[in-house]
Amino acid sequence: LTAGPGRALRVRYRLTPEPGVDPVARARHLAREQTVECPEGIAPEAEERALAAVEEIAARDDGSFDVTLAFPLEVTGGDLLQLVNVLWGNVSLQSDVRLERIDWPRALLDRFAGPAFGVEGVRRLCGSAPGRPLLATALKPLGSSPRELARRAAEAALGGVDLIKDDHGLGDQEWAPFRERVLTVAEHVARANRASGGATLYAPNLTGPVDRLPERLETVAEAGLRAALVAPMLLGLDTVRALAATSGLALIAHPAFAGSLVTGPGATGHALPPGVLFGDLFRLAGADAVVFPHAGGRFPFALDDCRDLERHLTAPLGALRGALPVFAGGIDAARLEQVIPLYGADVVYLIGGSLFLQPDVRAAASELARRVRRVPPRSAP
Amino acid sequence: LTAGPGRALRVRYRLTPEPGVDPVARARHLAREQTVECPEGIAPEAEERALAAVEEIAARDDGSFDVTLAFPLEVTGGDLLQLVNVLWGNVSLQSDVRLERIDWPRALLDRFAGPAFGVEGVRRLCGSAPGRPLLATALKPLGSSPRELARRAAEAALGGVDLIKDDHGLGDQEWAPFRERVLTVAEHVARANRASGGATLYAPNLTGPVDRLPERLETVAEAGLRAALVAPMLLGLDTVRALAATSGLALIAHPAFAGSLVTGPGATGHALPPGVLFGDLFRLAGADAVVFPHAGGRFPFALDDCRDLERHLTAPLGALRGALPVFAGGIDAARLEQVIPLYGADVVYLIGGSLFLQPDVRAAASELARRVRRVPPRSAP
């Protein structure tokens, strides 16, 4: 990661300086804040090594500016958290700036393993042919017993759902302690798979306490499971990276707690576009699939955000495997057919609450699975 | 954590429903989103156990509503991350809501150990008498060699600074690899302490990769250090909790990456007030001190935010120790005397860049230390 030509991390920020603030001076402050974090004159040699360069400032019609900073690669030290800190550390505390896009240099990408399974690996785990979207559901609600959850999971599996993930609120509550819940649900899903000849994948939720993760991973292995749900902004992005590298599990990332960070037409965050946080960064951290609320549901994201996320997760990014967007948050049977033609085949549609509301969950799941297999996804561009 | 009278977690949210949305229905959705996360009718028994109750809805003059939800304690399962998920998980993705305050039930607080050192413990580590604020500085800049950093740290220590923390951008960069940097700086600070008879505390930055934390902790122990800097929103809040519980180090928490989460007059976040995130939650996670940008510097927080943070960190909170606010982000010698009378004695003032800009760092530090000892803090209320 030695500095040198073509070995910089280029990041574009959107700057809206307060009235009277010189945008060039503000851009230089930004470069300083995110690297040497000190006034000029303390250590000229260190600044020569580590200070980001202001490469471009372009005025926009709305009075804001597009500012491109070039960071010497070595400021990250090859560490994911220091990378995030360089991108959005101190300036997260300033209200006149947000991050727009990152040009990833190959030398930096090559420091990260990314998804251990990726799109093809997840398909393999749940026995899906390429060329069609996957169908997922969320096991709920919190407050249910392991048996109740297992019964619901088995119905969904018998109906042909590809992937069942725990609701991200399921932890180690007394109503359904982690070990008992995971073993019971896994057993019922395995039995359903044997009965149907299917390969529904069950992904239990891995959350805190972090010092119990090793014990939880043992339970997951004991249950014969190959996937887990994680919430990177709760668990910590680098804990997810470490899990991706060592657990042998396909990881489905959940956006809990992360919403306040993302920008977008209906969002109020001022940090990062959904494609950068849930796309670039989650993929770099090793998420094999990323849950995101689809437009038109009960979350304020736009269709463009969803398309952008699909692109960030599936487009080439160094040697990193692609990851699957998991569109959720209010997709039901009625909307499924309208949504499928908008995306390519490497997408997961998650139908949660509305599925378990049906009197015959198995039949309803089966009908959803048929639709996902029948409606042609958008053909490759 | 069994449910029962007086055993609920009460949280007040500020709701600004879209035009035409019924606030009562919206409040009920909020309660549902953060617990059972499913439509009514799937599992009435589970809902009886886990669904939050809407306890109060009060209209405000500005068209918004104060909504108080009461969560059954057991939804958290006693886990910090699931607690945060309940407070601000899915609704982080919705733009019409923010969190205002939390009434902490004793039964929940008692599940967490909080700061291992607290205000008195940190004073003990740096040999400070009670009744006066502490003086801190930040070791910088990124790009310096271990020797350059060590020389600066020694000057600050000789000048009587109580606490020297690494800049939060110092990781494991080739210019100053973690082990070499920490051992070199620690040695110079120890030598300065022997020369001056002081007890300046040096806190190196602990960041990723998380799987190298055990090795880093060994280096810190080998260097004879008793404190470390952590950025909870990067490292993960529960990783910080685990470090507080097991490392034997006093932890100074840094707000990097966390800014996009906090509300405030000049902030654009829509999540939590600084007092709740940096006060309640960081304290619960075991931070002994919390760095926060003081009003009037280069970050957009107000004086009220700073006072509020002091209160959240130092006021009684179950059996948890108090923690020190570390006001930073542009305090210099000139402002120090104006700021000290605004706060009590249990506060740290961090003067970073402007200190190392002085031609004689030791003399400048010494003058700052004199001021911190001389100006009377606000007397106890």
How does strand A53-59 pair with strand A65-72? Answer: antiparallel
pLDDT number for residue B5: 47
Nearest Cα residue to A167 out of B32, B2, B40? B32
Nearest Cα residue to B358 out of B184, B154, B155, B164? B155
User: What ipTM score was computed for the predicted complex, to two decimals?
Assistant: 0.96
Q: How far apart are CA A41 and CA B272, in angstroms?
A: 37
Q: Which pTM does this prediction carry?
A: 0.96
Q: Tell me which residue in A260, A329, A356 faces B42 most closely, judged by beta carbons.
A: A356
A15 CB neighbours in chain B (<8 A) are: none
Nearest Cα residue to B282 out of B261, B251, B311? B251
Q: Which A residues 304-323 touch B at CB under 8 Å?
A: none
The per-residue pLDDT for range B3-24, each reduced to its tens digit, is 444 579 999 999 999 999 999 9
Tell me the shortest Cα–Cα distance from B171 to chain A, in angstroms: 7
Q: How far apart are CA B47 and CA B51, in angstroms?
A: 5
Averaged pLDDT, B309-316: 98
Contact A1, A108 (CB under 8 A): yes
Per the DSSP assignment, residues forming a β-bridge with A15 are A65, A97
DSSP 3-state of A122: helix
> Cβ–Cβ of B88/A352 closer than 8 Å?
no
Tokens of A179: 């070990």
The per-residue pLDDT for range A61-107, each reduced to its tens digit, is 999 999 999 999 999 999 999 999 999 999 999 989 999 999 999 99
Q: How far apart are CA B28 and CA A87, in angstroms?
A: 37
Any chain A CB within 8 A of the CB of B268? yes
Tokens of B290: 């919390």
Contact A111, A213 (CB under 8 A): no
Residue tagged 């770099």 (tokens): A284
Tell me the shortest Cα–Cα distance from A261 to chain B, in angstroms: 6
Q: Let me know how long chain B is.
A: 381
DSSP 3-state of A137: strand
B143 CB neighbours in chain A (<8 A) are: 35-36, 43, 45-51, 75
Crossing angle of helices A80-88 and A237-246, in 10° steps, is 150
Residue tagged 């007394």 (tokens): A174
Q: Which A residues 7-36 touch B at CB under 8 Å?
A: 29, 33, 35-36
A50 sits in which H/E element: helix A44-50
> Cβ–Cβ of B46/A258 closer than 8 Å?
no
B148 CB neighbours in chain A (<8 A) are: 43, 46
What pLDDT band is residue B381 in, cutting at 50, 70 and 90? low
Contact A311, A381 (CB under 8 A): no
Any chain A CB within 8 A of the CB of B55? no
Mean pLDDT computed over every residue of chain A:
94
Any chain A CB within 8 A of the CB of B208? yes
Q: How far apart are CA A221 and CA A243, in angstroms?
A: 13
Spatial CB neighbours of A62, under 8 Å, sequence gap ≥ 6: none
pLDDT number for residue B267: 67
Tell me the shortest Cα–Cα distance from A105 to chain B, in angstroms: 18
How does strand A163-166 pair with strand A134-139? Answer: parallel
Burial of B342 (0-12, 13-18, 19+ CB in 10 A): middle
Terminal-to-terminal C-alpha distance of chain A = 35
A16 CB neighbours in chain B (<8 A) are: none
Any chain B CB within 8 A of the CB of A209? yes
Rg over alpha carbons for chain B, rounded to the nearest Å, is 22
Q: Which A residues 34-53 touch B at CB under 8 Å?
A: 35-39, 41-43, 45-51
Averaged pLDDT, B363-378: 94
Q: Which amino acid is at A182?
A: V
Buried b (16+ CB within 10 A) or exposed e, B247-258: bebbbbbbbbbb
pLDDT number for residue B380: 59
Contact A274, A99 (CB under 8 A): no
Q: How far apart are CA B150 and CA B145, in angstroms?
A: 9
Q: Which B residues 321-380 touch A at CB under 8 Å?
A: 329, 352-354, 356-357
Buried b (16+ CB within 10 A) or exposed e, B141-168: bbbbbbebbbbbbbbbbbbbbbbbbbbb
Residue tagged 């960070």 (tokens): A261
Per the DSSP assignment, residues forming a β-bridge with A11 are A69, A102
Spatial CB neighbours of B204, under 8 Å, sequence gap ≥ 6: B166, B170, B178, B181, B182, B185, B186, B220, B223, B225, B228, B229
pLDDT number for residue B3: 45
- Least confident stretch, A51-65, B46-60, B252-266, B338-352: B252-266
The per-residue pLDDT for range B119-157, each reduced to its tens digit, is 999 999 999 989 999 999 999 999 999 999 999 999 999
Mean pLDDT computed over every residue of chain B:
94
Q: Which amino acid is at A327?
A: F
pLDDT number for residue A266: 65
HEC string of B5-62?
A: CCCEEEEEEEECCCCCCCHHHHHHHHHHHCCCCCCCCCCHHHHHHHCCEEEEEEECCC
Q: How far apart are CA B30 and CA B40, in angstroms?
A: 13
pLDDT number for residue A267: 67
Instruction: State the number of CA atoms in the 13 A half-sphere of A141 facing the CB.
Output: 27
Q: A125 — alpha (psi -120 to 50), left (phi > 0) or beta?
A: alpha
Per the DSSP assignment, residues forming a β-bridge with A349 are A135, A327
DSSP 3-state of A236: coil
Spatial CB neighbours of A25, under 8 Å, sequence gap ≥ 6: none
HEC string of chain B?
A: CCCCCCCEEEEEEEECCCCCCCHHHHHHHHHHHCCCCCCCCCCHHHHHHHCCEEEEEEECCCCCEEEEEEEEHHHHCCCHHHHHHHHHCHHHHCCCEEEEEEECCHHHHCCCCCCCCHHHHHHHHCCCCCCCCEEEEEECCCCCCHHHHHHHHHHHHHCCCCEEEECCCCCCCCCCCHHHHHHHHHHHHHHHHHHHCCCCEEECECCCCHHHHHHHHHHHHHCCCCEEEECHHHHCHHHHHHHHHHCCCEEEECCCCCHHHECCCCCCCCCECHHHHHHHHHHHCCCCEEEEECCCCCCCCCHHHHHHHHHHHHCCCCCCCCCEEEEECCCCHHHHHHHHHHCCCCCEEECCHHHHCCCCHHHHHHHHHHHHHHCCCCCCC
Longest dimension (CA), chain A: 72
Tell me the shortest Cα–Cα distance from B380 to chain A, in angstroms: 30
Please determine, for residue B48, whether its predicted confidence score (pLDDT) is greater than 50.
yes
> Cβ–Cβ of A84/B209 closer than 8 Å?
no
Tokens of B353: 């860049």
pLDDT number for residue B2: 42
Q: How far apart are CA A136 and CA A355, in angstroms?
A: 10
Pick out chain A residues at pLDDT < 50: 1-5
Please determine, for residue B290, whether its predicted confidence score (pLDDT) is greater than 60.
yes
Q: How far apart are CA A365 and CA A356, in angstroms?
A: 9
Q: Which amino acid is at A111?
A: R
Residue tagged 């990260």 (tokens): A112
Any chain B CB within 8 A of the CB of A267? yes
Per the DSSP assignment, residues forming a β-bridge with B54 are B69
pLDDT number for residue B1: 42
Phi, psi at residue A138, to the nearest 5°? -115, 130
Terminal-to-terminal C-alpha distance of chain B = 35
Q: How many CB pairs under 8 A join A and B?
A: 335
